[in-house]
Amino acid sequence: MLYKSTTALVTAGFLFAAAGAASAGDKEYAMIDQLPEKGNVTITATVEDVDSNTEFTIRDAHGKTIDVESMSAVTIREGDRVKIIGVMDDEFVGIGREIDATSVTIVDAADEMATATGDDKKNLKASLESTVDFSASETEFDTVDALPDEGMVTISGMVEEVDIEDNSFKLRDKSGESIDVHPLKPLSVKAGQKVKVTGVMGDETAGLGIGEQIVSAKITVLTQG
């Protein structure tokens, strides 16, 4: 990203003119290798690293990466799943390429998995499994109230109720408090089972802090209900 400032100046006028067209993107791509040399694009991938609040790199399920420059400041972290809508651009006189983003949205992995089909679902599953390091959570929390606001967590409890349509369930801890859980894989639990959940803390309503949940969760059944 050595030439970002130069690129930004050269392309700024074009980007603002194209913002309306790029807001929808011509096609949603699953892999970085599939991206065209130019034109509007939409792609969902994992944040590989963050250079600033407008410059970062994304990685697809095959490990390929591409730089992204956002037209506005965004708050993201390494490992976030993000949906990028923007315009393809050469980074410097045709050497390398990047996406000049008109929109950057952090996506819910569970919602993304639920709507994906075919090869896209396989690619997404591979990408999510490479993103979520389940061994990173060494501390198991006893109660929902003790869970942090962010990061990887592990907690055991009882499956209180299951929502097949949303591919989620409520986990009730030993104190009676509950939290929504969105498994990485399709639901394979039923009410009454005791399970151990390892996943990532997230806000249910697009980061607005309305309701906590555990997403991209790995589920281990401890006892049958």
Interval 157-204: pLDDT, tens? 999 999 988 888 999 999 999 999 988 777 889 999 999 998 888 754
User: Which tokens hold the place of 108?
Assistant: 């819910």
Q: Compute the distance between CA of residue 141 and CA of residue 11 in angstroms, rounded to an integer.
A: 49
Q: For residue 177, give the CATH number of its domain.
A: 2.40.50.200
Share of the chain above pLDDT 70, in %: 67
Q: What pLDDT, on the 0 to 100 scale, is given for residue 177?
A: 94
Q: Please indicate, yes or no, whether residues 139 and 205 belong to a single structural domain of this protein.
A: yes
Position 60 confidence tier, pLDDT thresholds 50, 70, 90: confident
Q: Compute the distance between CA of residue 44 and CA of residue 25 in angstroms, rounded to an integer.
A: 12
Q: Please indicate, yes or no, whether residues 186 and 207 belong to a single structural domain of this protein.
A: yes
pTM check: above 0.95:
no
Q: Please indicate, yes or no, whether residues 13 and 84 belong to a single structural domain of this protein.
A: yes
Q: CB of 210 within 8 A of CB of 180? A: no
Report CA dihedral (85, 37, 130, 80) to the nearest 10 degrees.
Answer: -30
Q: Please indicate, yes or no, whether residues 138 and 181 belong to a single structural domain of this protein.
A: yes
Choose among 82, 100, 102, 84: nearest CA to 20: 102
Q: Compute the distance between CA of residue 83 and CA of residue 74 in angstroms, rounded to an integer.
A: 12
Q: How is the chain split among helix, strand and coil, in percent rounded to 5?
A: 20, 40, 35
Angular region, 58: left φ>0, alpha ψ -120 to 50, beta rest: beta
